[in-house]
């Protein structure tokens, strides 16, 4: 299979996986978090959207972790597509979540290597950015697959 065809399948499966995980959005146990976000200025924030997308991203991350641990090094086309598709799905949902956090709270967000610093009303938080780590693993797999294709031809 050509590299272009393989990644066409990967993006199709990643789209399907992302839509499946987004369909779990209504099942998120939001509870009191919907209106719990109160800023120091007294503004109420609806947190259901960022919490729901975060839950969907968590499901994609778990699929990626499980598939990479169990199927890494497999010669099966299906398993390799599943690994790469779950990586793309998580990366998309992770950065969509950061975007929604920005749109909801309007904090200052600084992207650092492997971390994201979020500043909100004088409070700073350093968050491990798993999206960058999964992106590096995905790009390594892409590079290795492309290199194998060049060496085999």
- Break the chain into its structural domains and give their ranges: 3-152
Cβ neighbours of residue 50 closer than 8 Å, sequence gap 6 or more: 97, 100, 101, 104
pLDDT at residue 139 greater than cutoff 80: yes
Q: Taking a C-beta distance cutoff of 8 angstroms, is the pair 51, 28 a contact?
A: yes
pLDDT tens for each residue of 14-52: 999 999 999 988 787 766 555 555 555 666 667 778 888
Q: Taking a C-beta distance cutoff of 8 angstroms, is the pair 115, 128 a contact?
A: yes
């Amino acid at each position: 299979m050509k590299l272009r065809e393989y990644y066409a399948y990967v993006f199709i499966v990643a789209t399907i996986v992302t839509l499946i995980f987004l369909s779990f959005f209504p099942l998120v146990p939001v509870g009191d978090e919907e209106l719990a976000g109160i800023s120091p200025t007294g503004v109420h924030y609806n947190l259901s959207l960022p919490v729901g997308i975060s839950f969907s991203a968590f499901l994609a991350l778990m699929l990626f972790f499980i598939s990479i641990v169990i199927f890494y090094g497999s010669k099966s086309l299906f398993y390799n597509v599943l690994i790469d598709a779950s990586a793309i799905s998580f990366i998309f949902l992770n950065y969509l979540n950061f975007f929604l956090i920005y749109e909801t709270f309007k904090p200052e967000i600084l992207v650092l290597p492997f971390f994201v610093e979020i500043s909100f009303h004088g409070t700073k938080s350093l968050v491990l950015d798993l999206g960058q780590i999964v992106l590096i693993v995905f790009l390594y797999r892409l590079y290795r697959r492309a290199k194998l294709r060049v060496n085999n031809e």
